[in-house]
Structure 1
Amino acid sequence: MKWNWGTKLVIGMVCFMSFIIVLAIKMFNSSPDALVDNDYYEKGLNYDKEYLLKEQVKKDQAKPVIELSPEGIILTFKDSAEGKINMVRTADKRMDKIIQIHTDELHRAAIPLTGIAKGHWKLIINWKSAGKFYLDEQEVMVE
């Protein structure tokens, strides 16, 4: 069977349009990007506040020590502290958790591993200790 150039042109256009339609359908059905924040504008406005809180950690040498144990994630602070931890799962935003913390007499706070999936987590720790506010970010690998 011989095809003339007009038939080949139509077949090429149909293939190209099919390719574009498949890409468009795939784009609309894909999950939202976990690396893009919906509230990036507000975070940009609060950047200076976060920077000062992180610098306060350096100034007071108050960075919490994180240990992984079979019971959970143990955070040891310089002084008694209370606050919250945002546990961010970089692979899946739906797994993020916010946990309230209060230290014991040894200045430790424990996060049980129940309900926490294995893998890479980013801990954003906001706490108040000795009348000062702090912010620290650390990464852990839960196994």
Structure 2
Amino acid sequence: MKINWGTSIVIAFALFMAFILYFVVKVQENSKYDNELVVEEYYKHDAHFDEEMTKLQNTSNLKEKPTISVGPDGIRISFPDGVSPNDISGNVSFYRPSAKKLDFTRSLRLSGQSMLVPINDLAGGRWDMTMDWRYKGGSYLTKQQVYVD
């Protein structure tokens, strides 16, 4: 039986498609490759986009902004000295892009002018931190990526 070049090309394409399909099926079935959404309710989240942009603008208009630093004891969120800790309320959310199971949210509770999130609560790697807070009637949003060793 003689195979011409046209038949060879069709066989090569078929083998290549089978090869690609094999890997697609393998990745979809393996729990090691987690296929999680970044945000569970994407459309509900996007409906508040304008509100989020307003809060970010409010934060950028502040003369003194809160600072976020990573140290050996954890992540420290510090507010300027002129800010009254009793007037601040809100939440701090930690989002782990690589593993949804590690995501968590904490209430913003200041001890003095700062709050510490202990290093024991954070796995090593990248964290996307979002601090949604209120101070004297104003709403603010601070976003920052932090890396924990």
Give the direction of change, closer, same or farther, for the CA distance of 1:60–1:18 in structure 2 (3 Å limit). closer
Q: CA deviation at 1:53?
A: 0.7
Paired residues of 1:124 and 1:138 also in contact (CA < 8 A): yes
Match of 1:55? 57
Unaligned stretches of 5+ in structure 2?
A: none
Residue type of the alignment partner of 1:84: N
Pairing 1:104-143 to 2, within 5 Å after superposition: 104=111, 106-143=112-149
**How far has the Cα of 1:33 moved from its partner?**
4.8
Alignment of 1:34-113 (within 5 A): 36-78=38-80, 79=83, 80=85, 81-104=88-111, 106-113=112-119
- Distance in structure 2 (CA, Å) of the matches to 1:21 and 1:67: 45
Identical columns (%): 23
Q: TM-score, normalised by structure 1?
A: 0.79
Matches within 5 A, 1:1-20: 3-5=1-3, 9=7, 12=11, 15-16=15-16, 18-20=18-20
Preserved contact between residue 82 and residue 103 of structure 1 (Cα < 8 Å): no
Offset, 1:101: 1.7
SS in structure 1 at match of 2:18: helix
**1:95-114 CA distance string (max 9 Å, x none):** 2111112112x321111111
Question: What residue identity is the alignment partner of 1:122?
Answer: D
Equivalent residues, number: 138
- Structure 1 unmatched runs, 5+: none
Root-mean-square deviation (CA, aligned residues, Å) is 2.6
Q: Which residue identity lines up with residue 130 of structure 2 in the other structure?
A: I
Letter in structure 2 aligned against 1:12: I
Q: Distance in 1 between matches of 2:105 and 2:89?
A: 13
